Chains A and B, each alone.
Chain A
Amino acid sequence: MLSSPLKRVPSMPNPNDRPAIELTGMNKWYGDFHVLKNINLRVLRGEKLVICGPSGSGKSTMIRCINRLEEHQQGQIVVDGVELTNDLKKIDVIRRDIGMVFQHFNLFPHLTILENLTLAPIWVRGMRRGQAEQTAMHYLERVKIPDQAHKYPGQLSGGQQQRVAIARALCMSPKIILFDEPTSALDPEMVKEVLDTMVALAEDGMTMLCVTHEMGFARQVADRVVFMDQGEIVEMNTPSEFFSHPRHQRSKLFLAQILN
């Protein structure tokens, strides 16, 4: 599946379905600093969004609000029909169904790769150990590192660690996966192996929100590109439109900088 040629597979989200994620009039402040300004975003099931923008534009903060690693102060965030509030139980339930892949992998260094993958299925989903290990091995094979199962994260390369992190998210059978600059901390020669894994995931119809500067990846898999600047969504369009005819001055400037 991963070895298939990298081609664009059109997904067909049905706009009449209940949206996977819906942000309405969402605002967030850090003290006096207005980080996110009136964010409105509707993500359909199976949609792949690439979120880009200059650093400090609030793109990471926005996706971190979706699994409430950050709190928003105003507006509404509804994930799979459930609104995010201060109710801790509800937050944990929502988090089970949202996978997250971090820039710095954040694997658990005191556990082996296999234990990293089985921890949440066992302790959050209540899965039996044998079954959890079977699932874990299945996903390790999908990210092509089943032979590393009994090593510790510190013994793996950055690219391998990030693929483990993706497998760890998949082991919870999430409905949505959030990627927070998954290739930014990698050595250049390891970026491709991680992107290939993400492309394969997109081809399987996973709902994905990716904060990334990998424009090739955006062209290849994104249904929509979201461009953010200074805490606002400035432009949102299909990748072909966005890259060939950016409408906004700020988008043009950003594209000029990133593509050169």
Chain B
Amino acid sequence: MKALSLPLPAEPTPGQIRFGALRRSARLLFGTPLNAALTLLFGVLLVATVPPMLRWLVIDAVLFDPSPRACRVATGACWSFIYAKSGQLLFGIYPLDDRWRPAIVCLLILALLGWSVRPASWAPRLAALWVAALVLIFWLMAGGLGLTEVPTSSWGGLPVTLILTVVAIGVAFPVGILLALARRSTMPAIRVGAVVLIESVRGLPLLSILFVASIMMPLFLPEALLPDKFVRALVALTIFAAAYLAEVIRGGLQAIPNGQYEAAAAVGLPFWRMQYLVILPQAIRVAIPALANTIIVMIKNTSLVLVVGLFDLISSGKAALADPDWPSPAAETFLFIGAIFFALSFSFARFTDFLERRGPTAH
């Protein structure tokens, strides 16, 4: 057979390259009648929506004027409201003179979260650090021992959201692991107990669990035994999260081949050490995407505590909007609150992304 020889294409000049790129994008945008129609349609949509959006967000918006009057006459967003009401939005109805306390609590929690994502700080003393920090946090929020006492009904805003999120997920994670192991146990009583708990919690809406914790529990528990409303909501959130996390972790456990259990058993590792050193690190790694999903949903679920009369970020926002002096800029307020939730959830998503890329890739 004769060898084929193809002529090499001539080197394009810079002008040809620029022209070529233009022609390529023109072909992509208008190459077929359908492409041309879609391009025109989206062009019209962009022209119709982007300029008004920019006008509302920035150009016609009240940015710095601290008086409510400017907002009443303005046609754009009222960002000065967010600024003027930032204290109330972030800290709810917490006593004005003591707002430094929830402020410190928020900074402390965020700083600790930032510290905890570093692999270098993963050691048993990190858990001890968190426990100590939580004691300090509850003292700062609730008062006593030299600080003015503030009942949980006066707590509100960002610290409530952060405390509920961190404690509920922090406690639910180990409880979820135990439930997942219990559900796979060979001991019938333990397995059935786990199944009943997980399935009944999963079968109920979070709202109804919160109602049971806040409204029904006082009906059949004597007042002396009744925990605080905040603690009851926290327990409800924790149990709910634990049931979901348990199933996600169980999924990870099922991905671990039997040989791993056998190899760990063959060197004489007892049950708990086998789980802690060999099985769980692999199972949790497999389950990272699903775990991240569940945890992000839980971060946002904390806002449901508003139905039982706790003031999280969203309820604080609603309360701030009730001020008759201001023209009630709801969209701006919820955008602001949304941005806070987004920052929390997105940072967490980035963290799990980092976890997935870490460690051995080949198996």
Taking a contact as CB atoms closer than 8 A, the residue among A92, A104, A152, A172 that contacts B259 in the complex is: A104
Contact with B along A131-168 (1 / 0, CB 8 A): 00000000000000000000011110000000000001
Contact between A123 and B262 (Cβ–Cβ < 8 Å)?
Answer: no
Cβ of B171 under 8 Å from chain A: no
**B263 to chain A: which residues have CB within 8 Å?**
100, 102, 106-108
What chain B residues lie within 8 Å of A123 (beta carbons)?
A: 269, 273, 277
Task: Judge if B281 is at the interface, Cβ distance under 8 Å.
Answer: yes
Within 8 A of B (CB), among A76-100: 88, 92-96, 98-100
Interface size on A, residues (CB 8 A): 29
Q: Are B363 and A96 in contact (CB under 8 A)?
A: no
Contacting pair B362 A120 (CB below 8 A): no
Interface string of B323-361 (1 = CB under 8 A from A): 000000000000000000000000000000000000111
A110 and B359 contact, CB distance less than 8 A: yes
Residues from chain A with a CB closer than 8 A to the CB of B361 are 154
Measured between alpha carbons, how far is A119 from B273 in the docked complex, in Å? 10
> Is B278 on the interface with A (CB-CB < 8 A)?
yes
A93→B281 CA distance, assembly (Å): 25
Assess whether A154 is in contact with B262, with CB atoms less than 8 Å apart. Answer: no
Closest chain-B Cβ to A40's Cβ sits at a distance in Å of 24
CB under 8 Å from chain B, chain A span 40-95: 67, 69, 88, 92-95
Do A124 and B268 contact each other (CB < 8 Å), given the known contacts A154-B361, A154-B363?
Answer: yes
Q: Given A102-B259, A102-B263, A109 and B269 touching (CB < 8 A)?
A: no
Chain B neighbourhood of A107, CB < 8 A? 263
Known contacts A106-B260, A123-B273; is A100 also within 8 Å of B266 by CB?
yes
The smallest C-beta distance from A256 to any residue of chain B, in angstroms, reads 33
Residue of A nearest to B274 (CB): A123
Q: Are A152 and B266 closer than 8 Å at their CB atoms?
A: no
- Tell whether B301 is near chain A: CB-to-CB under 8 Å: no
Check: B282 CB closer than 8 A to any chain A CB.
yes
Is B278's CB under 8 angstroms from A152's CB? Answer: no
Binding site secondary structure of chain B: helix
Docked-complex contact B363 and A120, CB < 8 angstroms: no
CA distance A106 to B282 in the complex (A): 13
In the bound complex, CA of A74 to CA of B268 (Å)? 24
* B33, CB-defined interface residue at 8 Å: no
B99 sits at the interface (CB 8 A): no
Chain B, 96-136, contact with A by CB distance < 8 Å: what is the 0/1 string? 00000000000000000000000000000000000000000
Q: In the complex, which residues of chain B have a beta carbon less than 8 angstroms from the beta carbon of A119?
A: 267, 269, 277-278
> What's the minimum C-beta distance from A101 to chain B, rounded to whole angstroms?
9
Give Cα A88 to B270, complex, Å: 9
CB pair B260–A108 under 8 Å, yes or no, is yes
Write out, one digit per residue, whether chain B residues 231-265 have a CB within 8 A of any chain A CB (1) or not (0): 00000000000000000000000000001101111
- Name the distance in Å between B280's Cβ and chain A's nearest Cβ: 10
CA distance A227 to B263 in the complex (A): 26
Query: Contacts A119-B277, A152-B360, A154-B362 known; A106 to B259 CB distance under 8 Å?
Result: yes
Contacting A at CB under 8 A, from B267-296, are: 267-270, 273, 277-278, 281-282, 285
Are A67 and B266 in touch, CB under 8 angstroms? yes
Known interface pairs A110-B281, A110-B359; A124-B259 also in contact (CB < 8 Å):
no
Chain B residues positioned under 8 Å from A95 (CB to CB) = 265-268
Residues of A with C-beta under 8 A to B362: 152, 154-155
| Complex-state Cα separation, A93 to B263, whole angstroms | 15
A156 to B359, CA, bound (A): 15
- Cα separation A193 to B262 with both chains bound (whole Å): 24
Q: List 6 A-B contacts (CB under 8 A).
A: A96-B267, A102-B266, A108-B260, A110-B360, A119-B277, A169-B267
5 shortest A-B CB distances, which residue pairs? A154-B362, A106-B263, A152-B360, A120-B267, A95-B268
Which positions in B face A, CB cutoff 8 Å? 259-260, 262-270, 273, 277-278, 281-282, 285, 359-363
Give me the interface of A with B, judged by CB distance under 8 Å: 67, 69, 88, 92-96, 98-100, 102, 104, 106-110, 119-120, 123-124, 152-155, 168-169, 172
